[in-house]
């Protein structure tokens, strides 16, 4: 089975306080062989980028309404008259609040949904092929 990767580079804002944020280059990645997950790599030009992986459904829903819990929470809002999506990421190493422009995130998500439509993810995992190979032995 051929695998497809859908990537998008964009600039996120790391929110440091209500009045201050800093731009953070990021790469959104989606792979059809890992159909339930999205990956966001931060500081993509650095030697050691930081990558977060979480459910694609969480980001899809978060563009429209607050969702998530625990380590990843996502919700839509307005900032400076623009539609943005906020992502609150928590880890033992610290917390981050990131803001991304909804139009770019939505366009990228649409490409991922055309690559592997919702509900079709299970068929992309290759479990049937792996089971057939295992049983053929």
When pLDDT is cut at 50, 70 and 90, the band that residue 45 belongs to is low
Q: Rounded mean pLDDT of 41-59?
A: 86
CB 76 within 8 A of CB 64: yes
CA distances in angstroms from 34 to 6, 28, 126, 135, listed in the order given: 12, 14, 10, 23
Q: What pLDDT digit, counting tens, does each position of 9-24 carry?
A: 999 999 999 899 999 9
- pLDDT, position 131: 61
Q: Output the CATH code of domain 5-118.
A: 2.30.31.20
Q: What angle do CA 110, 114, 120 make, to 5 degrees?
A: 120
Q: What pLDDT digit, counting tens, does each position of 72-129 carry?
A: 999 999 998 999 999 999 988 889 999 999 999 999 999 999 998 887 677 655 555 6
Mean of all residue pLDDT scores within the chain: 88
Which value, to the nearest 10 degrees, does the dihedral of the CA atoms of residues 79, 29, 55, 97 take? -30
């Amino acid at each position: 089975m051929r695998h497809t990767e859908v990537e998008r580079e964009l600039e996120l804002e790391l929110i440091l306080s209500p009045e201050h944020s800093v731009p953070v280059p990021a790469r959104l990645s989606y792979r059809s062989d890992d159909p339930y997950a999205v990956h966001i790599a931060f500081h993509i030009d650095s030697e050691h980028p930081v990558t977060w992986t979480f459910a694609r459904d969480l980001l899809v829903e978060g563009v429209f309404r607050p969702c998530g819990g625990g380590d990843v929470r996502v919700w839509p809002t307005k900032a400076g008259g623009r539609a943005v999506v906020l992502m609150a990421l928590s880890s033992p190493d610290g917390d981050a609040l990131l803001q991304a422009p909804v139009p770019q995130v939505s366009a990228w998500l649409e490409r991922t949904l055309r690559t592997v439509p919702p509900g079709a993810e299970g068929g992309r995992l290759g479990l049937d092929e792996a089971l057939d190979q295992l049983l053929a032995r």
